[in-house]
Amino acid sequence: MSYGKVFKERPFKYGDVSNFVHYTADESLLSSLNEKVGIKKAVDKVQHFKKRLIEEYNKNRNVKMAIDVCVHCGACLEACPTYITSGDILNSPLGRAELIRAVVKGEKLSGKIFGRAAGAVKEIDESYIKKVYTYYWLCLICRRCAYVCPFGVDQTDVTRTVRSILYEIGMASRFTAMTIEAHWKSGNNMNLNPKAIASIIEFVKNEIKEEKGVDVKVKIDEKAYALLLPSSADLFMNLETLKGYILFLNVYGIDFTISTEATETANFGLFLHPKHMQGLAQKYVSAAEKLGVKLVIAGECGHGWRVHKNYTLPELRKKGIDLVHIYHLVYRAIQEEKIKLDPSKNGDIIYTYQDPCQYARGGDLTEEPRFIMNHVVKNWVDPEHSKEYTWCCGGQGGNLADEVVPLATQYARLWYEEALKSGASWVIRPCSICKAQLSHVVPYLNRMYGKDIEYSGLMDLVYRALVINKE
């Protein structure tokens, strides 16, 4: 199917998307962030950009491959949501690679002599860097391109690298920077203070009592066997997901606590700079040590899980602490017959499970949620594109920013149309970024298509399906 042709015929400006520019963070915000990780803002933007890009080219395999190995075969184009929905070649893995390839070649002898004939730009200025900023911040960091590239080029890693260089010269998405600042300040992305967190937990406990007829225990900043890391969005918007965590852990018999210093499994540092990703991840390690836990439980968040799996877990294991995803525990509880589930509690409607990008591409978390789906609903279907070929929600990579929502809505139509095609009326997209993005785009898409698609996390279904033994 030629998705590009389909989207060209829809009511959207197909072509140049350079007008969708992320608002940049102001100087004071960036200075505050820099102080937290010991980064000094570059004085000469152009020279620093070129110098750092060459450094990464010489040491980063994916940057080198994107520049030296890519043969412009175009395999990534039909896989890339940003290109499919815009038709702007610069809004693609190939186009983004070309922007930095030209800079690197411009620093080589052949580029200095032959210029554009050698695919190089001899000199770049701040306007060129602004173009790089525009298109690298429109990348979803979904990694779909990496799974179709015949040479295995991971353009997502290139995007993260380029964004980190842009950050060093004072160019970063305002939304992403503000989210990271909140996380540094309060331990969560929503800037919830300890009093607010305690109040929300108390409210949820009362809700569970009223709906399930059972008193549940939730420790806050107390020592326990396990530390639960929800997403702060679960304490603000996705309360059914939070209910699912709490009720399940109580029924399964795990003594757990929540830290008001690390009430966030999401890690937006992944989108901005490695030092922020690592620094925020260290918050989880410090909280786990402080509370004396033996296990850390990650809640529903795709990019958070990717960071946990690849960075937080090795750091925790140095301290003798393990880390699992909440789905690993639910999977185990079902297999051990330690919990009872009634799928009829979730009705007779058809559900579809759509993999978060970072679960399926880099998180190795695809089978557990499907196993759980088989036990919590009566009817569900896999979409045409699932697991490593899943479509991005449209909000990845910091694209939740209000100014990008019109374009992100177009990205979302790829998975939305697959949901319609599957016959499902309820979409399970468990990542907290997915759910945040769906809150923006689903009402619009429902009106546009004349449908009534609903959405939620997977732990929402676990909550409703859990049968409570009151004896």
Does residue 374 share a domain with residue 256?
A: no
E-strand spans in 176-245?
A: 219-220, 226-229
> Is residue 168 in some structural domain?
yes
Does residue 308 share a domain with residue 290?
A: yes
For residue 20, what pLDDT is reported?
86
Distances (CA, A) of 221 to 195, 250, 331, 362: 12, 17, 27, 31
User: Each residue's pLDDT tens digit in the chain (471 positions)?
Assistant: 445 555 554 545 577 888 888 999 999 999 999 999 999 989 899 999 999 999 999 999 999 998 888 888 889 999 999 999 899 999 999 999 999 999 988 777 565 655 665 566 778 899 999 999 999 999 999 999 999 999 888 999 999 999 999 999 999 999 999 999 999 999 999 999 999 999 999 999 999 999 999 999 999 999 999 999 999 999 988 999 999 999 999 999 999 999 999 999 999 999 999 999 999 999 999 999 999 999 999 999 999 999 999 999 999 999 999 999 999 999 999 999 999 999 999 999 999 999 999 999 989 999 999 999 999 999 999 999 999 999 999 988 878 888 888 888 888 999 999 999 999 999 999 999 999 999 989 999 999 999 999 999 999 999 999 999 865
> Is residue 301 in some structural domain?
yes
In this structure, are residues 408 and 395 in contact, taking their beta carbons and an 8 Å threshold? yes
Does residue 163 share a domain with residue 42?
A: yes
CATH number at residue 130: 1.10.1060.10
> Is residue 118 in some structural domain?
yes
d(CA 99, CA 168): 18
For residue 1, what pLDDT is reported?
43
For residue 292, what pLDDT is reported?
98
Does residue 200 share a domain with residue 69?
A: no
In this structure, are residues 303 and 267 in contact, taking their beta carbons and an 8 Å threshold? yes
Does residue 431 share a domain with residue 285?
A: no
Does residue 273 share a domain with residue 300?
A: yes
CATH number at residue 439: 3.40.50
pTM, two decimal places: 0.93
Does residue 350 share a domain with residue 319?
A: no
Which residue is associated with the tokens 């909280």? 287
Query: Can you tell me whether residue 353 is helix, strand or coil?
Result: strand
The residues near 305 (Cβ < 8 Å, ≥ 6 apart) are 265, 298, 325, 358, 359, 363, 365
Q: Which among 172, 191, 211 is the end of a domain?
A: 172
- For the chain, give the number of residues: 471
**Closest-CA residue to 138 (of 172, 98, 91):** 91
Does residue 331 share a domain with residue 219?
A: yes
Q: Which domain, by its residues, includes 442?
A: 343-465
> Is residue 245 in some structural domain?
yes
> Is residue 356 in some structural domain?
yes
**What is the number of alpha carbons within 13 Å of residue 102 lying toward its C-beta?**
20
> Is residue 82 in some structural domain?
yes
Query: Can you tell me whether residue 396 is helix, strand or coil?
Result: helix
Distances (CA, A) of 176 to 23, 24, 269, 393: 10, 9, 8, 17
Q: Which among 155, 172, 189 is the end of a domain?
A: 172
> Is residue 241 in some structural domain?
yes
Neighbour count for residue 241 (Cβ, 10 Å): 28
DSSP string, 257-319: EE-TTS-----GGGGT-HHHHHHHHHHHHHHHHHTT-SEEEE-S-HHHHHHIIIIIHHHHHTT
In this structure, are residues 446 and 452 in contact, taking their beta carbons and an 8 Å threshold? yes
* Amino acid identity at 317: R
Does residue 211 share a domain with residue 142?
A: no
**Closest-CA residue to 93 (of 49, 142, 24):** 142
Question: In the chain, how many domains are there?
Answer: 3
The gap between the terminal CA atoms of the chain, to the nearest Å, is 56
Element (H, E) at 256: strand 256-258
Does residue 441 share a domain with residue 349?
A: yes
Does residue 368 share a domain with residue 266?
A: no
Which residue is associated with the tokens 């877990």? 313
d(CA 50, CA 103): 7
Does residue 32 share a domain with residue 69?
A: yes
Number of H helices, E strands in the chain: 21, 9
* Amino acid identity at 172: A
d(CA 433, CA 50): 32
> Is residue 471 in some structural domain?
no
E-strand spans in 150-249?
A: 219-220, 226-229
Q: Which among 294, 319, 335 is the end of a domain?
A: 335
CATH number at residue 244: 1.20.1050
d(CA 287, CA 263): 10
For residue 116, what pLDDT is reported?
67
**Closest-CA residue to 70 (of 32, 15, 119):** 119
**Closest-CA residue to 441 (of 397, 417, 414, 406):** 406
